[in-house]
Amino acid sequence: MLSRADNELITRVGAGTPMGDALRQYWLPAVTSEEIVRDGAPLRVRMLGEDLLAFRNSAAAPGLVDAFCPHRRAPLYFGRNEDDGLRCVYHGWKFDVLGRCTDMPSEPPDSLFKEKVRVRAYPCRERNGIVWTYMGSLAVPPELPDLEWNLVDPEQRHITKRVQFSNYVQALEGGIDPHHVGFLHGTLGPDAGNIFMRDRQPRYDLLETPYGLRIGTCRRLGEDRVHWNITHFMMPFYNAFAVPNGAVEPTVGGFAWVPMDDTTTMAWCFTWNPARPLTSDEIHETAAVARLGGGVHLRPSDLLPPTTEAGGAWRPIGSKDNDFLIDRDAQRTRRFSGVPGLSLQDVSLQEGMGAISDRWNEHLGTSDAAIIAARRLLLRAARDGAPPLGSDAPHKYRIRALGVPLASDADWTAAAADWIDPVAAR
């Protein structure tokens, strides 16, 4: 468990908080490229407790700026995106993607006042369908993290998003918890024979790495054979897991749990294959949908009609208001949880813990080793004040998860090393 003070330390992410300052030292995924169009309407974005606007200028460059005009704090959402800038419709002040005021028609022509006024703007970089932003204080930001899902060709990856109404920590803790898979995501009946269901008492091992944690989960296959599921926690809020599809060229999945504020999270979900295009079944998660009523990716039909509020296009239909669509008959006959879909199953419990879980009331066991270790890394990042783990080692993020059968006495840390860590293998 955590003390109340430590729980506050890692969950509060606003400007000026220790954890918020640490998170701002990383490049953060802000929006998908397709969410903003050249000279189009600005998009409301909320990140780390700040209200922002994303837009694309006449040259197609992305920008991320304060949601309010620095003149009289009028909302820039109603502004005109025109001629390489966002113009406030209240008094006509205009700002470019760097935050500079390029026109101030309310002042005399010879006035230099516009040279002294800026709207808060964060640098953006665009790579492979994602607009990233750096909200930290370094004059020269670090390089973008080499997360492989953001490096492969578009046909080799699939990306979706959803809003989760809880603190980011309990979301990421669910993603690095190997033990829950055989229960929460378990199936009943003839499909209940997968490795996660057959052995619900695995053993665990951990390695601390330059990016975070390598997590090994060992389940018995027979007298002298075991199955190691090798996953990762990457600072500050990423994971990677093996997609159990039995493919010769394995597919990998992962999440990024980006804090919108202390009690709301934008959950980015990724599926990618380093070697080939994804199949239709992998994109649409056909097998997962059949067994569990939905996969990790929410479909458009799983989302509420979009609104213009921050995250308004990514709100799941299943929510606290409808008990996450729980089906008690399905719980008795088809799946361990009556909630449909892998993601919604996680969300039902993580949001059910409260907006911020009271971790001082927990009773942790051996299966929580990865969660305990991840909390220590977050606490260290919040307390140290130095560049946090991984922020200055972008190439170390190019790692992959894998499920692999091994001899009982094999060293899991050396298994399939060239696949799991292709950077180290070079």
| Residue 247 pLDDT | 59
Would the pLDDT of 190 be above 70? Answer: no
Residue 345 and residue 184 in contact, taking contact as beta carbons nearer than 8 Å: yes
Residue 48 and residue 261 in contact, taking contact as beta carbons nearer than 8 Å: yes
Provide the CATH topology of domain 148-425: Naphthalene 1,2-dioxygenase Alpha Subunit; Chain A, domain 1 (3.90.380)
More confident residue, 191 or 140: 140
> How many other CB atoms are there within 10 angstroms of residue 272's CB atom?
24
Euclidean distance between CA atoms 292 and 342, whole angstroms: 7
Determine the 3-state secondary structure of 236 from DSSP.
coil
Lowest pLDDT segment from 92-101, 311-320, 344-353, 377-386: 377-386
Give, in order, the Cα–Cα distances in Å from 250 to each of 55, 126, 243, 383, 420. Answer: 37, 27, 7, 38, 11
For 52-75, write each residue's pLDDT tens digit. Answer: 999 999 999 999 999 999 999 999
Name the residue ranges covered by the structural domains of the chain: 29-134, 148-425
Mean of the pLDDT values across residues 138-166?
96
Residue 272 β-bridge partners: 157, 252
> How many other CB atoms are there within 10 angstroms of residue 113's CB atom?
11
Euclidean distance between CA atoms 154 and 278, whole angstroms: 9
Provide the CATH topology of domain 29-134: Rieske Iron-sulfur Protein (2.102.10)
The residue type found at 274 is P
228: number of CA atoms within 13 Å, CB side? 24
Euclidean distance between CA atoms 25 and 33, whole angstroms: 22
Portion of the chain with pLDDT greater than 70, in percent: 97
Residue 370 and residue 376 in contact, taking contact as beta carbons nearer than 8 Å: no
Residue 225 β-bridge partners: 407
